[in-house]
Amino acid sequence: MDTENKYYDRELSWLSFNKLVLDQTKDTSLPLFERIKFCAIYDSNLDEFYRIRVAYYQGLIDIPKKNRKNLEYSPKTVLSNIKKEVYKQQSEFEDTFYNKILPELKKSGIIIWQDEILEEKHEIFLKEYFSKEVLPEIQPVMLSSSGAVLPFLKDNVIYLAIKMHKKTRPSDYKSSYAVIQVPSDSLGRFTELPELSGKYLYMFLEDVIRKHLYMIFPGYNILSSYSIKLSRNADLMIEDEFTGNILNKLRKSLRQRKTGLPARFSYDKNIPEDLMSVLQLAFNLSEKDFFPVGKYLNLRDLFQLKNPLSPKYELAPLKQLNHPVIDAYDSIMNAVENNDILLHFPYHTYDYVLRFFHEAATDPEVEEIKTTQYRVATNSAIVNALIAASGNGKDVTVFVEVKARFDEENNIAFADKMREAGINVITGIPGLKVHAKTALVIKKANKKNKKKTFAFIGSGNFNEKTATQYSDEGFFTSDKNITKDIEKLFLYLENPVEKFNFKHILVPGFNMLSVLKEKINREIKNAENGKKGYLILKINGLGDKEMIDLLYNAGNKGVKIDLIVRSICKLRPDMPFSKNITVTRIVDRFLEHSRIYAFYNNGNREVYISSSDFLTRNLRRRVEAAVPIYNTELINEIFDILELQLRDNTKAKFLDSCINNIDKKVSEKTKRYRAQSDIYNYLEEKN
């Protein structure tokens, strides 16, 4: 074991997180379709990892060594380590899917066709479906074995690579080759067939095509066909964000993404060498990008697989909780005027946030609405409320982060739609991403010439869809100390060259780093003075070396540190230099997404709800917002919830010095705790 390196590899730590996702696919205590969902999540996560992170390191290799001599690592070494770990995980994934999931589905009466004998009615159904629906979408491309290069394979799209012989020639004559795009975007990935002896039967779309290749190539004997896919570099390269029109540059970069450099060429590992050679020549592929897999690619499409026996083999739906304080008022803003209100999603219903925006849109006393958008839902109810507010004469300002990865096109479209509705839309700060999740509603001045302001600050996006899937915090307040700072934040977004003094909320580039350091150093001082030093950080990623060093120092000085880190973790627990530090990782029904900073402060406990992780980009190169909770009852509630997560011994794992996911030690007599279920029960009982 490397005892010298104080920082674990960023990419391997992320792969360790995805390994825990993979482990859920094998967890037989979960309902079958829950395990299938985790298969889709694992595959989707890995694909994005290749398109962003692996593509980044591949790009570094192409840079001359003299221009990358300041790098702390060798890109080739990083890629080699990634490949070893991914190959190991991929083997586990395929074994689980093909040898466990598919047979268990079949045993449950749900068959995903794997060469089973079909009845005549199925053959008739498939031929008709193929002729009417699939064949019009098919555009076969013949390949030349002479090495003529074709334009490109579309990004992240499944193709069938086909080997065949002309019928007019002997079977041992020169083979012919072709590729066909599988039109799953338009037709869906799974075709439902008529019931088979009382069982439900589905077929991958590429298998439907395979069975009818003779109709596409009538002059050929089809020898074999194999799935292939090219994932391309999905990072958007905007050379200069500081001059010209950022939106136009982004639109151009989005077009280039579709034809970006290869990041991974995935292919059925049973593909013959001659066909592979033809593909390599035809599409100018490099062996460094080759990635052999099982028969089926893009298994993220398992999200589309219908459960005909629903709700059997699924988790019971969560009945979202109401909030008693809000429900005691006829208006959310009246409730917020008199109370600080903390919501825990997805346990609490997100309808309160939607109602907040809709109420602001129609309330005649509301003059202004300001909000940020990072990732919003398709057909967003919040966007519709903002458009309605503008139509009702409100002054609406929306900051849309058009550089939110994979949501760029969606965000640009919403920005255009809102601008057309008369909303003041701001689309980007050069060199920065705006990741803060904040909203401000300002009412007219009263008789004392004082305006009423209401704020919402969250750890997650303004997205009603993901709010049912992600664990996040949302905070309503009318506290003037906080709303004044939120107003300053929006003034900064409108004029990013101006400097502001934030007294309560934490914002990178202003006070976030200095205040966090101050509070951690205070815990160190308390520990050195014989008092209790303790802090809890719940974040999605921990990678900033300066903050890691500060945590190491705090732990070594006697501060007890409990970290709950979802994915990337460069801090190495269980080492001589990381005393008193534990790292917990939780993967369960909901994606752990909330960020909470909690400090014991000699018994005067302090808590912040934040949009920011402890990654260098978040702490230094983004606009984030962390809001303090001043209400003692809410502080206690947050500490209670954090403690429920720390005691989880069912879905939570400890991380060891090599960021492996380690089971917590339990015996048959040990009481089992499961944080997400326990939090729901805690809130339900409290309500």
Amino acid at 360: A
Q: Is 610 helix (H, G, I), strand (E, B) or coil?
A: strand
Q: Yes or no: say if 527 and 533 are a contact pair by the CB < 8 Å rule.
A: yes
DSSP assignment of 115-151 = SPPPPHHHHHHHHHHIIIIIGGG---EEE-TT-PPPS
Query: CB burial class (10 A; 0-12, 13-18, 19+) of residue 337?
Result: middle
- What is the widest separation between alpha-carbon atoms in the chain? 96
Q: Please name the helix (run of DSSP H) or strand (run of DSSP E) that holds residue 273, with its range, or none.
A: helix 273-282
Q: Is 291 helix (H, G, I), strand (E, B) or coil?
A: strand
Residue 140's alpha-carbon distances to 181, 217, 219, 353, in angstroms, are 7, 9, 14, 49
Q: Shortest CA distance to 455 belongs to which of 386, 372, 351, 365?
A: 372
Q: Shortest CA distance to 674 belongs to which of 27, 46, 37, 26?
A: 27
| Active-site residue, selected from the candidate residues 122, 358, 435, 504 | 435
Residue 203's alpha-carbon distances to 194, 526, 528, in angstroms, are 11, 64, 65
Q: Yes or no: say if 566 and 540 are a contact pair by the CB < 8 Å rule.
A: yes
> Degrees (nearest 5) of the Cα angle 402, 484, 429?
20
Residue 435 annotated in active site: yes
Q: Yes or no: say if 423 and 611 are a contact pair by the CB < 8 Å rule.
A: no
Q: Yes or no: say if 286 and 264 are a contact pair by the CB < 8 Å rule.
A: no
Residue 643's alpha-carbon distances to 267, 320, 588, 590, in angstroms, are 45, 22, 17, 18
Query: What is the pairing mode between strands 220-232 and 262-268?
Result: antiparallel
Q: Please name the helix (run of DSSP H) or strand (run of DSSP E) that holds residue 326, with its range, or none.
A: helix 324-327
Residue 125's alpha-carbon distances to 212, 240, 450, 495, 635, in angstroms, are 12, 55, 71, 62, 61
Q: Which residues of 284-295 are buried (b: 16+ CB within 10 A; e: fewer)?
A: ebeeebebebbb
Q: Yes or no: say if 290 and 231 are a contact pair by the CB < 8 Å rule.
A: no
Q: Given its phi and psi angles, is residue 580 left (phi above 0), alpha (psi -120 to 50 degrees) or beta? A: left
Where are the strands (E) in 8-96, listed by range? none
Residue 356's alpha-carbon distances to 360, 388, 577, in angstroms, are 6, 13, 47
CA distance 2 to 194: 58
Q: Yes or no: say if 135 and 216 are a contact pair by the CB < 8 Å rule.
A: yes
Q: Which two tokens stand for residue 86?
A: 């991914």
Please give the distance of CA 596 from its chain centroid, rounded to a whole number: 18
Q: Yes or no: say if 49 and 14 are a contact pair by the CB < 8 Å rule.
A: yes
CA distance 188 to 665: 44
Q: Yes or no: say if 353 and 440 are a contact pair by the CB < 8 Å rule.
A: no
Query: What are the residue numbers of the active site?
Result: 435
